[in-house]
């Protein structure tokens, strides 16, 4: 109106829905970006590996404390500086990787880097590094993401392991050579023993045969005393031959493998007793639960034969009693051969297992003194033990253990 008062009002309405939606989206994007930034900061702060970002001129843009500690330089002292300026030796090594990532736009993974850092120039170290291209939203290359993991201790462990492996290889070579040499020496020893045995036995047999011929041809002309001397000479010859056989047997124990087979111990003992042919007045008992096992039959036979034969031969009566028993101890068996004979004084318990040692003079009883030493060597070679329990006048018990699974033996054949 003329006086300036409003006669009417015109209203304008503008739709700002899209703007509000856009502002909401922007706030949400900003919130997401802030959250992602916090997450990235947390990752950088807590990651157990070294992380850094380089620009395309290979200068540090950001670095986490873990990598700064690896480098021996404060994190702030990295920013804006080229890698080769902060780490001269390592920068020169790594720039080849940086250039390749910039030129190809492709990552380079798991590259081992070896060198030193300025803060510890005398300590050689190793790192496992990877390099990833960092791109903008429009796929422009902004820089390089680098991950670094120190593997110095791992490399030292690998090196030590390789050195030990090399030492083991050398040791195995020496062991193989030594084994071959021992096998050759054992073969030589076997051959020598055979030759010596043959050369010793031949004249012994000749002496025994000659004494028989003299006795047969001159029986009526030889005084009774001289006949006894001829018989004594033959018994000494036979004992010498038995001694030679015992020595050969003793020398071969543990050096020459024997056949492993399934053995019924009850049947084995029956065979041994039949072959020993004890006096009819003797009683030999075989305990119950004798096992069936896989073992070296010949060696177990030798052990039982010697122990049972000794129990019979050294008994002080013609009506003695011998008993064989067994106890199961899981991984091994314990056999016992006991008798009710004269017994052995405790002071001789060790002596009887020594080769050539006898408790009676050889003039009183034919004995080579080898039997129990053979038994002991067989039992111990097979991984067992042997002991004696005895008192004078109270009989004797020999106990020996025997593995259920036989030990391997290096054969010299």
The answer to the question of residue 94 being in a domain is yes
The answer to the question of residue 63 being in a domain is yes
pLDDT over 90 at 335, yes or no: yes
- Of 156 and 7, more confident: 156
Each residue of 214-235: pLDDT tens digit? 777 777 777 878 777 777 777 7
pLDDT of residue 80: 93
Each residue of 395-412: pLDDT tens digit? 899 999 999 988 776 544
Residues with Cβ within 8 Å of residue 296, at least 6 apart in sequence? 258, 259, 260, 261, 382, 406
- Of 409 and 208, more confident: 208
* Domain assignment of residue 125, given as a range: 47-150
The answer to the question of residue 363 being in a domain is yes
Number of domains forming the structure of the chain: 2
User: Is this model's pTM higher than 0.85 or not?
Assistant: no
Each residue of 9-28: pLDDT tens digit? 666 777 777 777 777 777 77
The answer to the question of residue 157 being in a domain is no
Each residue of 234-250: pLDDT tens digit? 777 776 776 666 666 66
The answer to the question of residue 175 being in a domain is no
Pairwise CA distance, residues 265 & 297, whole Å: 9
Cite the DSSP H helix spans in 105-223. 152-217
Buried b (16+ CB within 10 A) or exposed e, 153-176: eebeeeeeeeeeeeeeeeeeeeee
**Per-residue pLDDT averaged across 191-196, rounded?**
68
The answer to the question of residue 305 being in a domain is yes
Question: How many Cβ atoms from other residues are within 10 Å of residue 189's Cβ?
Answer: 15
Which of these three, 131, 150, 169, is where a domain ends? 150
Burial class (CB in 10 A: 0-12, 13-18, 19+), 381: middle
Q: How confident is the model at residue 413 (pLDDT cuts 50, 70, 90)?
A: very low
pLDDT over 80 at 375, yes or no: yes
pLDDT over 80 at 191, yes or no: no
Pairwise CA distance, residues 181 & 184, whole Å: 5
Which of these three, 115, 150, 185, is where a domain ends? 150
pLDDT over 90 at 338, yes or no: yes
pLDDT of residue 196: 65
Cβ 387 vs Cβ 371: under 8 Å: no
Q: Which of the 8 DSSP states describes residue 115?
A: E
CATH of the domain at 92: 3.30.450.20
Cβ 260 vs Cβ 239: under 8 Å: no
Q: What percent of the chain has pLDDT over 70?
A: 83
pLDDT over 80 at 203, yes or no: no
Residues with Cβ within 8 Å of residue 49, at least 6 apart in sequence? 66, 67, 147, 148, 149
Which of 321, 324, 314 shows the shortest CA–CA distance to 281?
A: 321
């Amino acid at each position: 109106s003329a006086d300036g008062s409003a006669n009417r009002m015109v209203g304008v309405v503008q739709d700002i829905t899209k703007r509000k939606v856009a502002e909401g989206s922007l706030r949400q994007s900003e919130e997401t970006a802030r959250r992602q930034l916090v997450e990235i900061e947390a990752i950088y702060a807590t990651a157990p590996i070294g992380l850094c970002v380089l620009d395309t001129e290979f200068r540090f843009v950001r670095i986490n404390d873990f990598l700064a500690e690896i480098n021996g330089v404060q994190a702030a002292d990295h920013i804006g500086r080229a890698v080769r300026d902060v780490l001269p030796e390592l920068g020169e090594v790594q720039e080849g990787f940086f250039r390749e990532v910039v030129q190809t736009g492709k990552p380079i993974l798991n590259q081992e880097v070896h060198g030193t850092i300025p803060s510890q120039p005398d300590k050689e170290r190793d790192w496992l590094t990877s390099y990833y291209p960092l791109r903008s939203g429009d796929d422009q290359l902004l820089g390089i993401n680098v991950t670094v993991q120190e593997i110095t201790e791992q490399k030292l462990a690998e090196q030590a392991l390789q050195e030990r492996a090399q030492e083991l290889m050398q040791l195995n070579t020496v062991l193989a050579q030594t084994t071959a040499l021992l096998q050759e020496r054992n073969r030589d020893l076997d051959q020598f023993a055979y030759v010596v045995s043959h050369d010793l036995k031949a004249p012994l047999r000749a002496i025994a045969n000659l004494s028989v011929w003299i006795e047969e041809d001159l029986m009526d002309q030889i005084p009774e005393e001289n006949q006894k001397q001829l018989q004594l000479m033959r018994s000494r010859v036979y004992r010498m031959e038995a001694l030679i056989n015992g020595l050969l047997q003793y020398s071969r124990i543990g050096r020459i493998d024997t056949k492993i087979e399934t053995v019924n111990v009850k049947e084995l003992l029956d065979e041994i007793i039949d072959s020993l042919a004890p006096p009819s007045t003797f009683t030999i008992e075989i305990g119950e639960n004798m096992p069936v096992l896989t073992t070296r039959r010949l060696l177990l036979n030798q052990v039982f034969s010697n122990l049972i034969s000794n129990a019979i031969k050294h008994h002080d009566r013609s009506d003695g009693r011998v008993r064989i028993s067994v106890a199961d101890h899981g991984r091994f068996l314990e056999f016992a051969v006991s008798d009710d004979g004269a017994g052995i004084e405790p002071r001789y318990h060790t002596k009887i297992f020594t080769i050539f040692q006898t408790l009676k003079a050889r003039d009183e009883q034919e004995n080579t003194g080898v039997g129990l030493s053979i038994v002991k060597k067989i039992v111990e070679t097979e991984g067992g033990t042997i002991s004696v329990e005895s008192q004078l006048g109270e009989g004797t018990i020999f106990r020996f253990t025997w593995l259920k699974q036989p030990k391997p033996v290096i054969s010299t054949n």
